Structure 1
Amino acid sequence: MKKEEAVLRLTEIIANFVGYTGKVLPDDVKAKLRELGAQEETPLAKIIYEAMFKNQELAVSLDRPSCQDTGAIQFFLQCGSEFPYLAEMEQILHDAVVKATQEAPLRHNSVETFDEYNTGKNVGKGVPSIFWDIVPGSDELSLHTYMAGGGCSLPGKAMVLMPGEGYEGVTRFVLDVMTSYGLNACPPLLVGVGIATSVETAALLSKKALMRPLGSHNANERAAKMEALLEDGINQIGLGPQGLTGKNSVLGVHIENTARHPSVIGVAVNVGCWSHRRGHIVFDRELNYTINSHAEVAF
């Protein structure tokens, strides 16, 4: 396959995948919603979950996005240094977003800051957001797609704590964010927590945490225990589905961390709403692909 043909093929696949993820939730998210819905006891909470499931059915049958806010598109790449289309990827992702916006369709959510001009294509200065990790020697592309809606972006917060505040300070920070802004993000939420040195490193980790499969745990035993404790604590707040009270407030809590400077603890929170529209697709150098987030789909 000539490079020009391959670039067009890759653009088409990614565009179709982005559009698809706006209509069909990942398998693990759908399974978790069914699990949480079955645990609710109040009539209102049960009705809300039933509406969520009906929403998903209609999105498929009507071939329309499951939420009006299809977000600002974000991409997280683990791209091999030997992947043959590395140099073209930024333009491919840009063009894929334009194509998905037209064909899915996706709501126009890219407004040029200061100019207050909606581009009408979901692209603009720095949009879509592209976060790169280059994998030396690999010839594969692992791509996570994410629709960062306004509601689930609103609770995003980062700060640097004094080291004496310790992990109790991290817990207090996370719970303060959840009790202040969690209602606005359409619970039950997936809560991503980043712990590092500075606000920007912690913030990126907290967003990467949202790309992990539900039910996965931090490899560090202490961090995994903190994930469980935070999940239990946030559930006890009782936000419930759509913030109208209930037994469960979260889909899960994921912590990602790096080493940090001994004098500070950088911490950040990002959340995904119940309609957590992420996707994961992996390409080899021949553009054969595997979709890990959604079963039985091909483009």
Structure 2
Amino acid sequence: MNKNDAVKKMTEVMAKLVGYSGKVLPDDVYAKLEELGSKENSNLSKTIYNTMFENQKLAKDLNRPCCQDTGVLQFFVKCGTNFPLIGELEDLLREAVILATKEAPLRHNSVETFDEYNTGLNVGKGTPTVFWEIAPNSDSCEIYSYMAGGGCTLPGKAMVLMPGAGYEGVTRFVLDVMTSYGLNACPPLLVGVGVATSVETAALLSKKALMRPLGKNSENERAAKMEKLLEDGINSIGLGPQGMSGNYSVMGVHIENTARHPSTIGVAVNVGCWSHRKAHIIFDKDLNYTITSHKEANI
């Protein structure tokens, strides 16, 4: 396969994956919603969950996005230095978004800041956003796509704490964000928390935390314990499905961290709504691919 054909193939695969992920929730998210819905005991909560599942069925049957806000596309890329299309990847992901916008279709959500006009293609200055990680001596490419909707983006917040605030300060920060803005994001939520040195490092980690499969805890034992404590604490607030009260407010809490400067604790929160539209695909050097997020995807 020559390079032009390879670019065309990968662009089309990514466009189809983006469009599909806007209509069908990933397997782990759907399973978690089923679990939480079965545990709710109020008629209102059960009705809301039943509506969610009916929404998913209709989106799939009618081949339409499951939420009218298809978000701003973001890609988390872990690309091997020997992957044959590493130099073409950003351009082809941009073209994939344009193609998905027309074919899925996706709502036009890219507005040029300050100039205040909608591009009509879901691309613009810096959109879609591509976050890179380079894998030395590898010829594969791993990509998470994510639809960052307006509602689930609103609670996003980051700051740097004084070291004396400690991990209690991290907990207080997360709970303050959830009690102030959690309703805006259509619970039950997936809560991503980043802990690092500065606002930008913590913010990126908190968004990457949303890509982790549900049910997979942090590899750090203490961080995993904090995940459980925060999950229990946020559930006790009683937001419930769609913020209409209930036993479960979150699908989970994921914490990602790096080492930090001893004088600072950077902390950030990002959340995913109940319609958490992520997708995960891995390409080899010949562009054979595996979709791990949606087992039934036929792309």
What TM-score, normalized by structure 1, do the two folds share?
1.00
What's the counterpart of residue 257 of structure 2? 257
Q: How many residues align?
A: 299
What's the counterpart of residue 9 of structure 1? 9
Cα distance in 2 for partners of 1:13, 1:138 equals 21
Deviations 1:184-215 (A, max 9, x none): 00000000000000000000000000000000
What's the counterpart of residue 213 of structure 2? 213
Cα distance in 2 for partners of 1:24, 1:48 equals 18
User: In the TM superposition, what is the alpha-carbon distance from 1:297 to its structure 2 partner?
Assistant: 1.7
Q: How does 1:1-299 map to 2 (within 5 A)?
A: 1-299=1-299
Q: Residue 276 of structure 1 aligns to which amino acid in structure 2?
A: H
Runs of 4+ aligned structure 1 residues displaced above 2 Å come to none
Cα distance in 2 for partners of 1:234, 1:17 equals 32
Q: Residue 228 of structure 2 aligns to which amino acid in structure 1?
A: A
Cα distance in 2 for partners of 1:149, 1:75 equals 14
Deviations 1:84-137 (A, max 9, x none): 000000100000000000000000000000010000000000000100000000
Cα distance in 1 for partners of 2:237, 2:100 equals 38
Q: Residue 183 of structure 2 aligns to which amino acid in structure 1?
A: L
Cα distance in 1 for partners of 2:243, 2:265 equals 30
Q: Residue 256 of structure 2 aligns to which amino acid in structure 1?
A: E
User: In the TM superposition, what is the alpha-carbon distance from 1:257 to its structure 2 partner?
Assistant: 0.0
User: In the TM superposition, what is the alpha-carbon distance from 1:298 to its structure 2 partner?
Assistant: 2.6
User: In the TM superposition, what is the alpha-carbon distance from 1:282 to its structure 2 partner?
Assistant: 0.2
Deviations 1:28-84 (A, max 9, x none): 000000000000011110000000000000000110000000000000000000000
Cα distance in 2 for partners of 1:233, 1:62 equals 38
SS in 2 for 1:111: coil
Q: Residue 67 of structure 2 aligns to which amino acid in structure 1?
A: C
Cα distance in 1 for partners of 2:99, 2:167 equals 44
Cα distance in 2 for partners of 1:269, 1:153 equals 10
Cα distance in 2 for partners of 1:78, 1:170 equals 29
Cα distance in 2 for partners of 1:224, 1:174 equals 15
Q: Residue 134 of structure 2 aligns to which amino acid in structure 1?
A: I
What TM-score, normalized by structure 2, do the two folds share?
1.00
SS in 2 for 1:33: helix
Structure 2 portions without partners, runs of 5+: none
Cα distance in 1 for partners of 2:261, 2:148 equals 30
Give aligned-pair identity as a percent.
72
Cα distance in 2 for partners of 1:114, 1:164 equals 39
Q: Residue 212 of structure 1 aligns to which amino acid in structure 2?
A: R
SS in 2 for 1:74: strand
Cα distance in 2 for partners of 1:287, 1:94 equals 18
Q: Residue 129 of structure 1 aligns to which amino acid in structure 2?
A: T
Cα distance in 2 for partners of 1:179, 1:56 equals 28
Cα distance in 1 for partners of 2:131, 2:18 equals 16
User: In the TM superposition, what is the alpha-carbon distance from 1:22 to its structure 2 partner?
Assistant: 0.1
